[in-house]
Amino acid sequence: MRILIVEDDPNLLRQMQEALVDAGYVVDVATDGVEGHFLGDTEPYDAAILDLGLPELDGISVLKQWRESGREMPVLILTARGQWGEKVGGFDAGADDYVTKPFHMEEVLARVRALIRRSTGHASSELSCGPVTVDTSSSRVTVDGNLIKLTAQEFRLLSYMMHHQDKVCSRTELTEHIYDQDFDLDSNTIEVFIGRLRKKLGVPIINTKRGLGYQVTAPGEAAD
């Protein structure tokens, strides 16, 4: 999963970036509203964390422009304590949730997980497909209850596909959502990781759709 953080406080930005990367996310960052708007308007993100008090272009304006241009990724806004008007303005502009500064990083992580789950139609932190279960809160993967050890990249790939079960995901889409904007989209890395995941999981939930991409479905239920 790929996250955008737009925050001008360098210490807070670093803390959030480190926490999200440690939790298994790919993170892009921007330190002002203009750069943040550009990234959010041109790159595919699974969620964005947006401070409202930004230089160059304020967060409310950034959010309004994203929504006006059809950007639908869930957005978590950061507001100052006691500024209830910021919260109202953020929701009216299209925000999905908020946290008030100062906050505990665990709360931000939990809210990001919840936003991504809701945006992909899932109510629980545990995503299951046949005997395979991905726990997004603990980054654990099990098959028939047995823990499977995955690398960070393998987990990101599986997690994205489990969030989008039954959807055919192209190689480009998968690459865009598990790597940052500087990654070479022409590489065959996705194919390599798909092969590794299939071996480690040991059950046929990842199906190849020739010329289209890959699809996670329960064994025996692959769609045409």
198 has a pLDDT exceeding 90: yes
Q: Is residue 221 part of a domain?
A: no
Whether 62 contacts 54, CB under 8 Å: yes
Distance in angstroms (rounded) separating the CA atoms of residues 14 and 22 = 12
| Confidence tier at 224 by pLDDT (50, 70, 90) | very low
pLDDT grade for 124, boundaries at 50, 70 and 90: confident
42, 132: one domain:
no
In sequence order, which residues have a C-beta less than 8 Å from that of residue 88 and are 6 or more positions away?
Answer: none
How many other β-carbons are positioned within 10 Å of the β-carbon of residue 21?
13
Q: Is 208 found in the same domain as 180?
A: yes
Residues of the domain holding 99: 2-119
Which CATH number goes with the domain that contains 144? 1.10.10.10
Residue 222 forms part of a structural domain: no
| Domain limit, last residue, from 82, 101, 119 | 119
Q: Are residues 88 and 158 in the same domain?
A: no
Q: What is the pLDDT of residue 123?
A: 83
The per-residue pLDDT for 84 is: 80
Per-residue pLDDT tens digits for 25-56: 999 999 999 999 999 999 999 999 999 999 99
**Cis peptide, bond prior to residue 102, ω within 30 of zero:** yes
DSSP state of 95: -
Cα gap 26→12, rounded to integer Å:
17
Q: 47: burial class by Cβ within 10 Å (0-12, 13-18, 19+)?
A: buried
Domain count, the chain: 2
133, 197: one domain = yes
The pLDDT tens digits of the residues spanning 88-103 come to 999 999 999 999 999 9
